[in-house]
Chain A
Amino acid sequence: MGAQQRNADSTLAKGLGWFSIGLGLAELAAPASVARLIGVRDDEAARRLLRAYGARELANGVAILGSGADDAEWLWTRAAGDVLDLATMSAAIRRNDGTDVRKLALGMASVAGVMVADVIAARGLSQTNGQDRVTRMRPRQRTSIRVSKTFTINAQPDEVYSFWRQLDNLPRFMRHLESVEPLGGRMSHWVARGPAGMRIGWDAEMIEDTPQRISWRSLDRADVSNSGTVEFRPAPGDRGTELRVRLQYDPPGGRAAKWFAKLFGEEPEQQLHEDLRRVKSLIETGEISQTPGSSSVFHPAQPSAARRAAGGRR
Chain B
Amino acid sequence: MRATCWMGTHNIQVRSVPDPQILNPRDAIVRVTSTAICGSDVHLYDGFIPTMQRGDVLGHEFMGEVVETGEAVSNLRVGDRVVVPFPIACGHCNMCEREMYSLCENSNPNASMAEQLWGYSPCGIFGYSHMLGGYAGGQAEYVRVPFADVGPLKVPDHLEDEQVLFLSDILPTGYMAAENCNIQPGDIVAVWGCGPVGQFAIKSAYMLGAERVIAIDRFEYRMRIARERAGAETINYEETDVWDAIREMTGGRGADSCIDAVGMEAHAANAWHIYDKAKTVLMMETERGAALRQAIMCVRNGGHVSVAGVYGGFMDKFPIGAIVNRSLTIKSGQTHVHRYMRPLLERIEAGDVDPRFIITHRLNLNDAATGYDIFRDKEDECLKVVMKP
Contact = CB atoms under 8 A, between A and B. Distances in A.
B106 A280 contact: yes
A127 interface: no
Interface in A258-314: 270, 273-274, 277, 280-281, 284-294, 297-304, 306-307, 309-310
Contact of B134 (A288, A294, A307): A294
Interface in B122-139: 124, 127, 130, 133-137
Contacts of B378: none
- Chain A interface size, under 10 / 10 to 19 / 20 to 34 / 35 or more: 20 to 34
A152 B105 CA distance: 10
Contacts of B18: 302-304, 307
A163 B51 CA distance: 35
Interface in B70-121: 72, 88, 90-94, 97, 105-113
Interface string B185-227: 0000000000000000000000000000000000000000000
| B-side interface mostly | loop
Tell which of B18, B21, B25, B105 has the most Cβ of chain A within 10 Å: B105
B17 A297 contact: no
Nearest to B88: A289
A299 B134 contact: yes
Contact of A289 (B20, B55, B108): B108
A221 to B, nearest CB: 35
A299 B26 CA distance: 23
| A-side interface mostly | loop
B360 interface: no
A125 to B, nearest CB: 40
Interface in B21-41: 21, 23-26
B53 interface: yes
Nearest to B146: A289
Nearest to B21: A307
A285 B90 contact: yes
A154 B93 contact: yes
Contacts, number: 124
A301 B137 contact: yes
Contacts of A280: 93, 105-106
Given A286-B25, A302-B3, A297 B106 contact: no
B53 A154 contact: no
A292 B55 CA distance: 12
A188 B72 CA distance: 32
Nearest to A294: B109
B136 A302 contact: yes
A178 B233 CA distance: 65
A301 B26 contact: no
A193 interface: no
A47 B142 CA distance: 35
A286 B1 CA distance: 30
A301 B21 contact: no
A309 B57 CA distance: 17
B51 to A, nearest CB: 6
B113 A297 contact: yes
Given A277-B111, A284-B93, A303 B106 contact: no
Contacts of A292: 134, 136
A284 B92 CA distance: 6
A201 interface: no
A285 B23 contact: no
B24 A289 contact: yes
B17 A302 contact: yes
B112 A270 contact: yes
Interface in B152-190: none
Q: Nearest 4 pairs between A and B by C-beta?
A: A293-B134, A300-B55, A294-B109, A303-B20
Interface of B: 1, 3, 5, 17-21, 23-26, 51, 53-57, 72, 88, 90-94, 97, 105-113, 124, 127, 130, 133-137, 142, 144, 146-147
Interface of A: 152, 154, 239-240, 270, 273-274, 277, 280-281, 284-294, 297-304, 306-307, 309-310
Given A286-B26, A301-B55, A302-B57, 10 more contacts: A287-B24, A289-B108, A290-B109, A297-B51, A301-B53, A302-B17, A302-B55, A303-B18, A303-B19, A307-B18
16 contacts: A154-B97, A270-B112, A277-B111, A280-B106, A291-B134, A292-B134, A292-B136, A293-B53, A297-B134, A299-B53, A301-B130, A301-B135, A302-B55, A303-B1, A306-B144, A307-B21
